[in-house]
Amino acid sequence: MLCRILLLIDIFLLSSNISYSQWIEISNLEIKKEMTEQAGPRIVVEYDINDTKISQDSPAYVFIRFSKDLDNIWELLPMEYLRGNGHNIIESSGHKKSIWWGATEMSILNLNQLKFKVYAMKMIRIPGGEFIMKSVPGKGFDESKSQNRVSSLPLFYIAKYETTNSMYVDYLNEVGVDGTGWNKRMSDNIYCGITQQGSYLNFTYSINPGRENYSIVYVSWYDAVAFLAWCGLRLPTEAEWEKAFRGGNYIDGDKEKQNPNTLPEREYTWGNESPNEGGIYRCNYGSADDGFEYIAPVGSFEKFNSPYGLSDMAGNVAEWTLDFYSTSYHFDMDGFRMIRGGSWMSDPASRDAVTAVTGATRLPMLESSIMGFRGVK
């Protein structure tokens, strides 16, 4: 038999009036400790996930953070300790259960002092298979021809939207008590709108009203990596980013091959029409003519998503990738990292401003109003 004991919990419900730009809504969070006859105690995390649009192709990525000292220090619950229905990639709405084995083996001595937060993020499934990569990773110039383009990738998941101010503030309010992850330029309401209150070792953060749904900017490569590690994710490689932008040779992957990509070498997420062809603006770039003088709220151009359904890969903010700048002449030059996709500042007179191969190099400590990021699992 199982003896169930209700734990002391912090019910951290994540909801939004505009669900696409923030965490997916979680409700009815309940944490229980179950004493088993043979395997010791286990912790059961139960919750409801309320987005009915979740599917196999557009799942939720769920991660759990916990505190074992009643709210002072928070940690990511390691995925390898979890079992349950989906436990981190959730393909349907409804009631979910994750089981945490081995809590006592992680030096958690007082299970009754645990507190929990559960977050869910909208992802897009990118099936494994071949695709046409038009750029060579690392800025695309390799006269020696020694670098081979990646032509096939295994299954991965990538965030549907760029990381938003609202998501980043939740991160700051947990890890930024000493100022980590924030800089003064983030308080600029034109581009960002995240303000800092309090004093050293007691800082808190808030978003100026109306700025919740915009892409976070003024983040260095290191800031992006740190936020994603907090989630249990990482930055995409250039190859992953380009496949997500253009699509594989088969949208449903090489295993199924039922849905061929009609434009596997497309210039833009929507096809080959220029971003403002026919007076229709398909992304946020270059001028206020697209409806936004600076950054746009994420998902503003969803009609022109990538073949898989990703938003804002062309324009809005350029996105950090995992890759170093590297060519046959400049191998790992000064630690520069690659950004992809163009931004709201990209030149509208240039057809190449926001294409699938648009890229630039940046020092990883650089913080700019045109650069943001999204995560990969």
Residues 359, 173: contact at Cβ < 8 Å? no
Calculate the average pLDDT of the chain.
88
The residue with tokens 């995925």 is 79
List, in sequence order, every residue forming a beta bridge with 324; answer none if it has no partner: 337
Q: Please state which of the ranges 149-153, 205-209, 264-268 shows the lowest mean pLDDT.
A: 149-153
More confident residue, 28 or 33: 28
DSSP lists the bridge partners of residue 5 as 33
244 in Cβ contact with 124 (< 8 Å):
yes
Local structure of 350: helix, strand or coil? coil
pLDDT of residue 287: 84
Locate 196 and state its tokens: 């800092």
Position 105: which residue type?
E
235 vs 145, residue with greater confidence: 235
Q: What pairing do the DSSP bridges indicate for beta strands 156-159 and 152-153? A: unpaired
Cα dihedral 97, 89, 298, 29, rounded to 10, equals 10
Please compute Rg for the chain using Cα positions: 22
Q: pTM here? A: 0.91
> Which segments of the chain does DSSP mark as H helices, in order?
165-175, 221-231, 238-246
**Closest CA relative to residue 259, chosen from 249, 268, 269:** 249
147: confidence class by pLDDT, cuts 50, 70, 90: low
Residue type, 77: L
Q: Which residues pair with 76 in a beta bridge?
A: 65
The per-residue pLDDT for range 10-29, each reduced to its tens digit, is 434 333 333 334 899 999 99
Can you give the pLDDT at residue 148? Answer: 58
Counting residues of the chain whose pLDDT is more than 90, the rounded percentage is 70
Q: Which segment of 93-102, 192-201, 216-225, 309-318 scores lowest on mean pLDDT?
A: 93-102
- Angle between helix axes 221-231 and 165-175 (nearest 10 degrees) is 80
- For residue 359, the SS3 value is strand
| Residues 195-229: tens digit of each pLDDT | 999 999 999 999 999 999 999 999 999 999 999 99
What's the token pair of residue 38? 């043979």
Between the alpha carbon of residue 38 and those of residues 34, 35, 82, 84, 241, the distances in Å are 12, 9, 18, 19, 46
Nearest to 341 by CA among 374, 365, 363: 374
Could you give the domains of the chain? Answer: 3-125 (2.60.40), 127-164+213-377 (3.90.1580.10), 165-212 (no CATH)
